[in-house]
Chains A and B, each alone.
Chain A
Amino acid sequence: MRRRDFIYVAGAGAGMLATPIPILGKSIHAQELINPGMAPAQKKGLADVALNVARSLGATYADARIGRYLNQYLFTREDKVQNTVNTESFGIGIRVIANGTWGFSSTNDVTPDGIKKATELAVAIAKANSKIQTEEVVLAPVSGHGDVSWKTPIIKSSMDVPVSEKVNLLLEANNKAMENGADYITTALFSVNEQKYFASTEGSYIDQDIHRIWPFMNITAVDKSTGKFKNRQGLGAPMGLGYEYMIPDTNEEVKGAGGVTLYRNRYNLIQDALDGAKQAKEMLKAPSVEPGKYDLVLEPNHLGLTIHESVGHPLELDRVLGYEANYAGTSFATLDKWKTKEFNYGNELVNLVADKTTPGSLGAVGYDDEGVKCKQWDLIRNGILVNYQAIRDQVHMIDQSESHGCCYSQSWNDVQFQRMPNVSLEPGKEPYSINDMIKDVEKGIYLVGRGSYSIDQQRYNFQFGGTLTYEIENGEIKGMINDAAYQSNTQQFWNSTSKICDTNDYRIFGSFFDGKGQPSQVSAVSHGCSTTRFDGINVINTGRNI
């Protein structure tokens, strides 16, 4: 219903983004993106207004988030700039507990009077809702941190780089792809800066400055003799980095199998555009896959999404408990399975950890949106389901006393709730490279980058495809193939893990606009892993004629 809060970029290429892109806030001048925001001392004074008013009205807990959210989105296709969007959103969100019930209100009138009114409304909502509330809020204890600050350890803010320089980079990449046989190319650059100040009645005053960046690319090649077309998406990832991610560094390049160049903490957009154009042309001539059982070799930029869907989402405690039943769904990973302490989510090779701390990741912050210091914890250890993702008002439901620190809101005017932290697969302990892995496969498929993806509402059955797909025969890459998608069941899939490359191959993939909740909110999250082999997975042929 808030359709105008989204932009829909026309064209088949941009359609590959899959989701409408949220626009949060008003349009501003690019120059204003680098203006300093309000000083922490001033924010502290204003936040205290909310906390004091809430206490005086009988709230037993209150937190205030003063947020300045800055976004810059740049879109180009071929030799044209399609759109440049700069937005700023500033305001305060106040959350309280009164009569054992949550209440929330927000305002962009960030003055003592505006904050007082919003706080009164939050308390009134809590008291009204308490009449129909059947489960009283129980908060896990958290210590007050006093005055602290945290900043994404970036080298260069993307907001400091002139629009013209960024647009020129996108257009140069487009030109490189067109020179090398692409028929169409869409590129985009998303830059985000969240300046968040959090204060709570627990005694925390937390000032954070968070940066994210995502270069998007989609190349199309058309074979005019057959009428066939193929898309090849960029192999860069959304990252919790500054503009340094866009400055190529050969030390951060990884050579995959099949001559594919992959990227770790630095990206080379122009090189990827060149490679992408050639690969899109190659796809037009590649044969269709023979369906059957294959050993899959999954590259991190691909496997990250499989981890996201088959491990990240099913272990969100609110889903497990049924709070998301009407939208995202529930979860097969029920509490009774977890309680047995022997539920084999995967085999003994599989160790999946959650964190909000990995440098360069989208999830990394110092403190979550309810003032909990961030950390790392185990979800799956030696294949066994050992924990979930839970926040302050949830951990008591799994007999724990410490929040995991993964509470997030997309903006000051949305209420914070449990969101997926980074969820990552630990690399193999023995030295083992991608080349070693290919040599060991007799009949397999190597998938690179994200393609089509779908999973059921309890996260059992999934189907994934890649951006680039190669057939492996007797230890060698035989060539590119088309129309391959694998179908599996989460538990069977992770129990078929047969080998994981070592830490030299470890990279992170991310999702920039992950949706959850009603009304829906977006969140950004990363997933790290090394190339991993899964044995005997069912591959279908998706080729059709219409």
Chain B
Amino acid sequence: MAIYTKEETKAIMSKALEFSKADSCEVNLYGSNSGNIRYARNTVSTAGAQSNQTLAVQANYGKKVGTATIEEFDDASIEKVVRRAEELAQLSPESEEFMPPLGPQEIAESNQYHESTAKIDPEYRAAVAATSIEPAKAKGVTAAGFFEDSANFSSMMNSSGLYAYEQSTGLEFTVTMRSDDGSGSGWVTRDYNDVGRFDAEMASQIAIDKALQSREAKAIEPGKYTVILEPAASMGLLQNMIFSFNARSADEGRSFMSKEDGGNKIGEKIVDERINLYSDPLHPLVPASTWTGEGMPREKTVWLENGVVKNLAYGRYWANQKGVAPIPFPANGIMDGGDASLEDLIRDTKKGILVTRMWYIRTVDPQTLLYTGLTRDGTFYIENGKLKHPIKNFRFNESPIIMLNNLETLGQQVRIDGNLIPSMKIRDFTFTSLSDAV
């Protein structure tokens, strides 16, 4: 099915607003075409495709709010969904935190759409799987992977005159390569808006190499070690932190961003002064949505500057309570890196551990942002600037705040899951036990 143009979305949403009899009305119209292929044991296991468009109507009478959705867009269907949202609003309990629709906003043009990605077909997906499986088979390695692509549109309009529209495309690829004897495992992830940047063969080869290099791992004692975290490894810990810059929970005294004597940590230095973290939906390598679901513009926002907290996200209700301007939650996270390549970081390390990836990360203590989880798919001991041998996986208990205070060196940035994160060298990283898992 089609990815609707601006004009098509305006025509459908205008009709919905014309039917509305509520105090105010806000409509979102969005849809996507997506496809995927999954493989395991060196053969394709499933493949699928989905297409959908949805019109969501939110109506309110005072603070009583109702939402209804429909997937058909003829006049009768549009009127039906508006009436249903209004009925639901009349029957709903009052929602104290309801904020009326925003007026017109200045919204930057998004740069997330690439026609080449929108044109991906089942043959391309099958070729990705084959490109991944064939070299694995040849090396005595078993591939299990997943590739998913999508083309999307998103639009909104409300009774206060706000209209927003964007198109986007994206692809995600992960593959786990295991040596046929089960003693080694490697992994890689890639995600892009533009399929032209994606090289399935090169990505798969990295995972194959890691699988072969990680065979016959030796156990070393858990404890505090200098670690080099590949971007996928540090992302596991940083992702939760980046999306927890929440003013409300900080002000309420129940966040790592809460100050001991009340209030939040804006203005406080919480990590090493070399840490700069921001979000920017217009960054060319990690473009993201330039507006939120309620039509608030997303702009470049600095969260940490020279280790100091510069901003926290304020939802519209909380911003209103506190008398400040709302700041949307980020759609991406970008951490400044350095010039050092991963090889440079390894070469400059006397004793340490290289971590490919971390897994099953869960919060242990929200007060200190302590997380636990395990290394996975390629963990190596470094001695005198070289990878000496693979080691068995560790469980860690570590907080990204402590980790970013123990920073030694920042390396080059890599795109991971829509974010731009550097590799980093950290001292005194806490491993608490050994795992036999490969």
Contact = CB atoms under 8 A, between A and B. Distances in A.
A520 B434 CA distance: 29
Nearest to A230: B367
9 contacts: A1-B148, A26-B71, A27-B56, A125-B47, A228-B367, A326-B174, A454-B372, A542-B364, A546-B399
Interface string B140-156: 00101110101010000
Contacts of B34: 1-2
Nearest to B52: A2
Given A27-B69, A460-B435, A325 B150 contact: no
B190 interface: no
A297 B37 CA distance: 45
A222 B362 CA distance: 22
A111 to B, nearest CB: 14
A460 B360 contact: no
Contact of B437 (A1, A18, A104, A461): A461
A4 B54 contact: yes
B97 interface: yes
A327 B254 contact: no
Q: Is the interface of B mostly helix, strand, loop or mixed?
A: strand
A322 B144 contact: yes
Contacts of B41: 135, 321-323
Given A227-B261, A322-B142, A546-B256, 19 more contacts: A4-B54, A27-B68, A28-B68, A79-B96, A163-B93, A222-B252, A323-B41, A325-B142, A326-B40, A452-B362, A452-B364, A456-B359, A460-B436, A461-B374, A463-B433, A519-B148, A540-B397, A540-B432, A546-B402
B175 A542 contact: no
A132 B43 contact: yes
A250 interface: no
Interface stretch (A40-48, A377-385, A482-490, A494-502): A482-490
B422 to A, nearest CB: 21
Contacts of B373: 454
A545 B44 CA distance: 48
A456 B259 contact: no
Interface in A119-168: 125, 129, 132-135, 163-164, 167
A196 to B, nearest CB: 21
Contacts of A133: 43-44
Interface string A2-46: 101000001110000010000000111110000000000000000
A542 B360 contact: no
Contacts of A183: 252-254
Contacts of B145: 326
Interface residues of B, number: 90
Contacts of B335: none
Interface centre among A11, A81, A461, by most chain B C-beta atoms within 10 angstroms, is A461
A367 to B, nearest CB: 23
Nearest to A455: B360
A185 B186 CA distance: 43
B435 A327 contact: no
A184 interface: yes
B354 interface: no
B108 interface: no
Contact of B401 (A135, A228, A415, A546): A546
A80 interface: yes
A11 B92 contact: no
Contact of B368 (A163, A167, A329, A545): A545
Interface of B: 30, 32, 34, 36, 38, 40-48, 54, 56, 67-71, 84, 87-88, 91-97, 126, 142, 144-146, 148, 150, 152, 170, 172, 174-176, 178, 187, 246, 248-249, 252-256, 258-262, 270, 315, 359-370, 372-374, 376, 393, 395, 397, 399, 401-402, 432-438
Contact of B95 (A82, A224, A332): A82
A414 to B, nearest CB: 9
Interface of A: 1-2, 4, 10-12, 18, 26-30, 79-84, 86, 104, 108, 125, 129, 132-135, 163-164, 167, 183-184, 220, 222, 224, 226-229, 231, 321-327, 329-330, 332, 415, 452-461, 463, 465, 483, 485, 487, 489, 518-519, 538, 540, 542-546
Contacts of A324: 40, 144
A1 B367 CA distance: 31
A350 to B, nearest CB: 20
B365 A483 contact: yes
A458 B146 contact: no
B68 A542 contact: no
A29 B88 contact: yes
B428 to A, nearest CB: 12
Contacts of A125: 47
Contacts of B365: 483, 542-544
A129 B142 CA distance: 20
B178 A489 contact: no
A229 B30 CA distance: 40
Given A11-B249, A546-B399, A465 B40 contact: no
B260 A542 contact: no
B315 A458 contact: no
Contact of B67 (A27, A81, A542): A27
Contacts of B368: 543-546
Contacts of A80: 95-97
Nearest to B41: A322
Contact of A164 (B93, B96, B97, B364): B93
A12 B369 CA distance: 13
B45 A323 contact: yes
Contacts of B146: 326-327, 518
Contacts of B434: 461
B270 A546 contact: yes
Contacts of B363: 452
A265 B175 CA distance: 43
A457 B437 CA distance: 7
Contact of A519 (B36, B56, B246, B262): B36
Contacts of B92: 81, 84
A113 B8 CA distance: 29
Contacts of A129: 44, 47
Contact of B30 (A4, A28, A30): A4
B261 to A, nearest CB: 7
Contacts of B256: 546
B435 A456 contact: yes
Contact of A332 (B70, B364, B395, B437): B437
B139 to A, nearest CB: 16
